[in-house]
Amino acid sequence: MMWVFAVLVVLVMGGIAIVASGRTGALPEEYDDRPDVVVPAGRLVGEDLRRVRFSLAFRGYRMSEVDTLLARLADQLDDVPRGGDNPD
């Protein structure tokens, strides 16, 4: 009886290996169903960063850390002089 289970396990593992290697046919075309992050074209201002929202992922970044960084960058952008003036 043990030999039957051993053969069955080997057959199942072989089937999985064949499917995983792609020998049973091509997979359908992959498409990205997540919405793109909308960032306006041209020069960014702090409010542009405050409105950015990233899509959620199972294994992504911590939302609080991303929000903190975006808030800091938005504040720094608001402090930069406009019109391309170089403060140096």
Looking at per-residue pLDDT, the higher value among 20 and 11 belongs to 11
Output the pLDDT for position 84.
55
Q: What angle do CA 50, 82, 78 make, to 5 degrees?
A: 30
pLDDT at 82 over 70: no
C-alpha to C-alpha distance for 59 and 62, rounded to whole angstroms: 9
Output the pLDDT for position 33.
66
Q: What is the pLDDT of residues 20-74, one digit of tens each?
A: 887 777 667 766 666 667 777 777 788 887 887 777 777 777 778 888 888 888 8
Look at residue 30 and give its three-state secondary structure: coil
C-alpha to C-alpha distance for 81 and 65, rounded to whole angstroms: 27
**Sequence spans of domains, the chain:** 43-82
In eight-state DSSP terms, residue 84 is T
